[in-house]
Structure 1
């Protein structure tokens, strides 16, 4: 009973973040569908919107204290080291370096945010959407 109450409180507390995760999930599916089957040229704007949404979600997660984790800090530091190394010794292209480090800076913290915000019922809804 206690776990269900905690889950209920997290649903109320993180409703905005849950909605962002659901929008991100929808864009992830839409990006894959367009890129693979329908219109590959339309997939690029969807991918950019998805990346901007992930940046916003990580910002909100840090602002609300949801991403206080050693792995998130480690990924940010490792991403920064990779970024500097690429600029100093690699191809010296800042746009490509930022694009390459986005998984370190936003992907891993986003996974931590999703694990704190999404409930079991949300996960089951997403899985049913994928499977059926």
Structure 2
């Protein structure tokens, strides 16, 4: 395997909170995929700050992913086509949908993501690798 791209992002949760105040759930709906939306609602219902941290971490990870694949936020990369989910162990992973999933597969890529958050910030790091050719 070889590194195809690396992306990182730091997100100020206070900025995300201000956007939510102005735009309400429209921002979250635009940013989150269907599975992420369910987790966001659940976490926010338990504690507002947990929902905010979840939304911020997903926003940050998608920014990192878009940088690592070299597309930025242009087609086929869209907010909702890229979901950052968690395995039962808690390890985050990236699930792609539609044209983005097709493009990513055609390129022979695989992605690794990590997330971390503190009281006012989340940070994400994504490494995208080319898959090894078959022997």
The structure whose Rg is larger is 1
Answer 1 or 2: which has greater helix percent: 1
Q: Provide the TM-score with structure 1 as the length reference.
A: 0.28
Q: Provide the TM-score with structure 2 as the length reference.
A: 0.28
